[in-house]
Amino acid sequence: MILSLLWLSLVSSVMGGVQEVWWNITYVENANPDGLFDRRVVGVNGTWPPPPLDVNTTDSLVVHVHNSLEQPTTLHHHGMFFNSSSWMDGAAGVSEWFGLFLPLPALVTHRLSFIVFSGIPPNGDFDYVVPINSSGQWGTYWVHAHASGQYVDGLRAPLVLHPPTEVHSYDEEFTVVLGDWYHQQHADLLQQFLSIANPGGAEPVPDSAVVYFAQNASYLGPISSSSPSPVTAAVGFNENATLPFQPGKTYRLRIVNTSAFAAFFFWIDGHEMRIIEVDGTDVEEAPVDTIGIAVAQRYSILVTARNDTSSNWAIHANMDVDMFDTVPDALNPNVTSSITYSSSASTTNLGAVDDYNVVDDITLVPVQAIAAPPPTKTIVLEVIFDTMDDGTNHGTFNSTVYNSPEVPAILSTLSLGGNATFAQAYGPQSFVVDHMDVVDIVVLNADAGKHPFHLHGHKPMLVGKAEDYTSDDPTLNPPLVEGQMADNPGVWFFHCHIEWHLEAGLALQLIEAPLVAQQHDGVPQKLKDNCEALGRPISGNAAGFASTTDLQGLTVGPFPQKLGWHPRGIGAMFGCVFTAALGMATVVWYTLGGHITEEEMEEEVKAKIAAKEKRGRLFGLLRRQAGLDGDQLRAAEGYTEPQARRFSEKLDREQNSNIISLCGQIIANAYSR
């Protein structure tokens, strides 16, 4: 069976308007795209990176998936509508199930309930039908795992949809894949991230970045003079990758940011760029110095080749280090590859730029302009990150953490009958909208970080953007609306695409036109079988009951800390006072001559240093935060006063919670001795 699958996987056939590919999802050992570290990745058919997909819009795409991993998996074709078939969308927990617990290290107190496993069980199969020929979409997309952070471990590939005629003309095209790159496994990083040792919620910082190129459903190989690592030697990465250019030609570069966390700044020395597509929407040509591209975004640019072939030119992809808590000495956040005119010419690298002059995406003009319809419903979401009552840091909309339901929400929709219109039946962070509602999703970012939000199943209109939503100044805070037609019955995820933030709970599910969705029930039996194979209920409310209110057993929380005196707080205070009294008693004991010998003291100091190094992350965090205040940040980052104030307040809160947590840890340590 495995053999025949492997054989089948070598071919992708095109027949009768259906492009089929066979993806056996496998671990690949010793992949080393950055040339710095061998690691296990998640690949396809025994290779990494997973194959790039190119599909004509006259075809539909069927991806036959076999899961050879030890954990459930899903595929999400990012940006595709899946009109009235949201079960094909691959968002675990929304259209498929996820919800196991990971083994926890001692410092983690929260059950990692959101993170987890979904969809296709180990050794299971599922056919993803992507109805490209009926979705009316074209342009640049990508496919990635939407379960257990598997895309961070490598399960990600570009997907290009070619219409019969393009709006803009060019001679040739390439796809440019950007990604941040971690050397540790995603599961290990996640345990460190959602831990009481990380109450400030510092995200894992990537170890490096990768850039590589594709054309006609194949990746470009490395330049001939390179000596790439054997497992990933078929593909050129970073300085081993190059785009062959010819004078007189104009190229379309489709840039996809497949990162877990980092936004990129992208530019090419010696060449001008014009934006022509953003996230599947053709736009009027707009010249730009630097492409600023957040996680999951896509841009197409036109680049006209030089007439002079005496030099090759550097391509720059710099990660946005402002997003990182620290920039480790070992990290090179700025990677380069090149454009080659002549293999004998040297490469001109103009180096760093003073300022990233990016285009404001709201100024880009779609080729097919659609008037924004008046809204019929408004959902206001405030983005808040905070240390929760279990000591871990989580991302929330309006202070509520998203957890995946026991029953995939689309199966609740299809099985609850008339009760399917009650939002509470789907668990917290579920919003029901009516068919053809025009929904304003107003996102207020109360967090100091940047957040690239993604709505499944739709192409939102970006209809407003404010520098500072707390300001009375209309230039900083113009009227804000984001209109979205509810024309796609089903269940759709809305979440931050920074994988760490999604896993910290910054998500919600939109239950769209549930009664209309019931008329289009086409859930494949295989999806239900897969859920059942994972031991999950396939009908009823979020907890599996035929009720709108009984949600017993559903995972919720953690919750914001409640200020005031609670039994645990009183216990902690008693512990602190007891520890302090013990410390003072020790001082008295010393003065009375109860001291230890010099050798004993040396041993004790050594042990303390070792223990402190072990907790280095926590101490580092405290030091970092103690060293920054709002004014310094404001000066350094050019923030407005209210932004700086919020940032400063956030740091204060985090510092307080760090100290509380440190105190708690000292008490816990004291108890455990």
Residue ranges that bind Cu ion, judged by CB under 5 A: 451, 496, 498, 501
Quick one: 262 or 496, whose CB is closer to Cu ion?
A: 496
Quick one: 213 or 453, whose CB is closer to Cu ion?
A: 453
Shortest distance (Å) from residue 594 CB to Cu ion:
54
Alpha-carbon distances of 89 from 115, 198, 497, rounded to whole Å: 18, 33, 15
CB burial of 164-202 (b: ≥16 within 10 Å; e: otherwise) equals eebebebeebbbbbbbbbbeebbbebbbbbbbbbbbbbb
Quick one: 293 or 416, whose CB is closer to Cu ion?
A: 293
Shortest distance (Å) from residue 295 CB to Cu ion:
8
Quick one: 97 or 453, whose CB is closer to Cu ion?
A: 453
Shortest distance (Å) from residue 393 CB to Cu ion:
12
Quick one: 137 or 393, whose CB is closer to Cu ion?
A: 393
Quick one: 6 or 443, whose CB is closer to Cu ion?
A: 443
* Rounded Cα distance, 73 and 97, in Å: 10
Rounded to the nearest 5°, which phi and psi values hold at 361? -60, -25
Would strands 312-319 and 264-268 be described as parallel, antiparallel, or unpaired?
Answer: antiparallel
Shortest distance (Å) from residue 450 CB to Cu ion:
7
DSSP assignment of 222-270 equals PPTT----GGGTTS--GGG-EEE--TT-EEEEEEEE--SS--EEEEETT
Quick one: 54 or 203, whose CB is closer to Cu ion?
A: 203
Quick one: 155 or 295, whose CB is closer to Cu ion?
A: 295
Shortest distance (Å) from residue 3 CB to Cu ion:
43
**Residues 308/311/314/315 CA torsion (nearest 10 deg):** 30
Shortest distance (Å) from residue 496 CB to Cu ion:
3
Quick one: 499 or 512, whose CB is closer to Cu ion?
A: 499
Quick one: 314 or 496, whose CB is closer to Cu ion?
A: 496
Shortest distance (Å) from residue 206 CB to Cu ion:
15
Quick one: 49 or 505, whose CB is closer to Cu ion?
A: 505
SS (H, E, C) 69-124: CCCCECEEEECCCCCCCHHHCCCECCCECECCCCCCCCCCCCCCCCCCCECECCCC
Shortest distance (Å) from residue 506 CB to Cu ion:
6
Would strands 281-288 and 273-278 be described as parallel, antiparallel, or unpaired?
Answer: antiparallel
Shortest distance (Å) from residue 501 CB to Cu ion:
3
Shortest distance (Å) from residue 303 CB to Cu ion:
31
Alpha-carbon distances of 93 from 57, 258, 507, rounded to whole Å: 29, 22, 11
Quick one: 298 or 451, whose CB is closer to Cu ion?
A: 451
Quick one: 111 or 495, whose CB is closer to Cu ion?
A: 495
Peptide bond into 524 cis (omega under 30): no
Angle among Cα 516, 520, 526 to the nearest 5 degrees reads 135
**8 Å CB contact between 524 and 444:** no
Shortest distance (Å) from residue 189 CB to Cu ion:
16
DSSP assignment of 509-544 equals EEEE-HHHHHTT----HHHHHHHHHTT---SSSTTS
Quick one: 451 or 458, whose CB is closer to Cu ion?
A: 451
Alpha-carbon distances of 607 from 73, 370, 580, 603, rounded to whole Å: 44, 67, 21, 6
Q: Which of 64, 58, 72 is nearest to 4 (CA)?
A: 64
The residues, any chain, with a CB within 8 Å of residue 644's CB and separated by 6 or more, are: 630, 631, 633, 634, 637
Shortest distance (Å) from residue 180 CB to Cu ion:
14
Rounded to the nearest 5°, which phi and psi values hold at 573? -65, -45
Q: What is the DSSP letter of 449?
A: S
Shortest distance (Å) from residue 502 CB to Cu ion:
8
Quick one: 260 or 538, whose CB is closer to Cu ion?
A: 260
Locate the DSSP E strands across 273-329.
Answer: 273-278, 281-288, 291-293, 298-304, 312-319
DSSP assignment of 160-184 equals EEE-SS-SS--SEEEEEEEEEE-SS
* Rounded Cα distance, 595 and 606, in Å: 17
The residues, any chain, with a CB within 8 Å of residue 635's CB and separated by 6 or more, are: none
The HSE-up count of residue 123 (CA atoms within 13 Å, CB side) is 4
* Rounded Cα distance, 590 and 607, in Å: 20
Shortest distance (Å) from residue 622 CB to Cu ion:
24
The HSE-up count of residue 394 (CA atoms within 13 Å, CB side) is 31
Shortest distance (Å) from residue 457 CB to Cu ion:
20
Q: What is the DSSP letter of 661?
A: H
Strand partners, 450: none
Residue with tokens 């509810």: 486
Strand partners, 386: 394
